[in-house]
Each structure stands twice: as structure tokens, then as C-alpha cells.
Amino acid sequence: MESIQAEEHLQTIRTLMERSAIYRRALAPIMILCGVLGLAGGIAGWALKLNSDRGFILLWSGLALFALIGSFLLARRQALRDFEPFWSPPTRRVAQALGPPLAVGCFINALIVHVGGTSGLMIFTVAIWAWLYGCALHSAGFFMIRGIKLFGLIFIALGCAVFLFAFNNLQRIEQLPAHLVMSGVFGGLHLAYGIYLYFTEQRRNET
């Protein structure tokens, strides 16, 4: 039994190495989509003055769901174009790595929506989301391209910066532009990484 499991692990690693270029091509449009949604969501939340904790959570949870559906469709289209199975063993490993931190984030979202109010939790929620998302990306990076692990670490570092920023401004916590901070952290980072992947992939194709 152990020899069979070891063979499956080796096959998964081999498949991941062979498909690293495919994952890279699929990630560029996904990152750009998430970046555009993040920037648009931040501007919309700030302009509409959604300053309650519940409104903040509902807006960004809806955007996250939309981004997840869009990412799924883009990845599936890429898999069909390259004649690759979408729900392959490597894809399952990535989903398993992403699952626990994102599940904790969903639990926190549900708790804040249930409590509601305007307690100024929004800016701290940005930091918590950045930590959990960064941990999820770092875990998934063991099964994807190397840059994903670094991308996750950047989110963790920015989460620490946002937390310190909020902690040092407790007296005016409710006035902090949580939507714009969220837009910059999630929207800006995704968009920048997506553009980087797009142009580096184009240079590879030209050579």
C-alpha cells in the first residue's frame, strides 16, 4: 500500500512539473480578473459609503464569490484548450491546500455578518483576510509555480502592515478607508501579478 501511495505522489509531482507552463498561462487572466474586481469593489464600497461591518463583509464576499466563479470558468477554458482534464489529481491537491484557510475566512465572515454593527472591525478584517489568503496561497504554492509561495508571503506581510496601521489609529478606527485599503491590497496585488505573468509569458512565447 505504501509503495502505491509513493508512486501516486511521484506521478503527481511529475505531472505538476510538466504542467507548470499551463498553470502559468491560466493564472495570468485569473489574476487580472481578480485585480479588476478588487479595484472596482473598493471604489464602489467607498463611493456608496458601505461603512457597516455587515455591508463590508457582504460586498466583499459577493465579489470573492464572483471572482471564484470567474476563475473556475477561465481555468476550465484553459484546460479544454490544452486538452487537459480540469479536475486532475494536481488540481485536487491545490484545492485541498486552499481549503482550510479559506474555510476559516468564511467562518469569520459569517460571524461578523451575524453580529453586524459599526464597530470598526472592517480594517482588521482586511488584515485577517490577507493573512488567511496568504497562508492559502503559500500552501498551494507547493503544488504550483514558485511565484505563488512568494505571492502568499507578500499578502501575509501586507496583512501585518494593515493590522499595525489599524492598531495605531484605534481612536479613529471607524473613519479609516477600509474599502480602499482592501482594494489596494487585494485588487492592486492581483492586478500587478497578473500583468507581470501576462508580459513574461508573452516574452517566453516570442523566444
The pLDDT, as a whole number, for residue 13 is: 52
CB contact at 8 A, 29 and 22: no
DSSP the chain: -HHHHHHHHHHHHHHHHHTHHHHHHHHHHHHHHHHHHHHHHHHHHHHTT--SHHHHHHHHHHHHHHHHHHHHHHHHHHHHHTT--SS-HHHHHHHHHHHHHHHHHHHHHHHHHHH-S-SSHHHHHHHHHHHHHHHHHHHHGGGS-THHHHHHHHHHHHHHHHHHHHHTTGGGGGGS-HHHHHIIIIIIHHHHHHHHHHHHHHHHHH-
All three cell numbers of 1? 500500500
d(CA 152, CA 163): 17
The pLDDT, as a whole number, for residue 99 is: 85
CB contact at 8 A, 154 and 185: no
d(CA 27, CA 3): 33
Q: pLDDT tens digits for the chain (207 residues)?
A: 445 555 555 565 555 545 555 556 678 888 999 999 999 999 999 998 888 888 899 999 999 999 989 888 887 787 777 666 666 666 777 778 788 888 998 898 888 888 766 567 788 999 999 999 999 988 877 766 678 888 999 999 999 999 999 999 888 887 888 999 999 999 999 999 999 888 876 555 555
Type of residue found at 82: D
Provide the residue range defining the domain that includes 140. Answer: 2-206
Residues 6+ apart with CB under 8 A from 36: 187, 191
d(CA 176, CA 59): 17
Residue 85: phi, psi to the nearest 5? Answer: -65, 135
Angle, alpha carbons 127-130-135 (nearest 5°): 130
Specify the number of domains making up the chain. 1
CB contact at 8 A, 78 and 25: yes
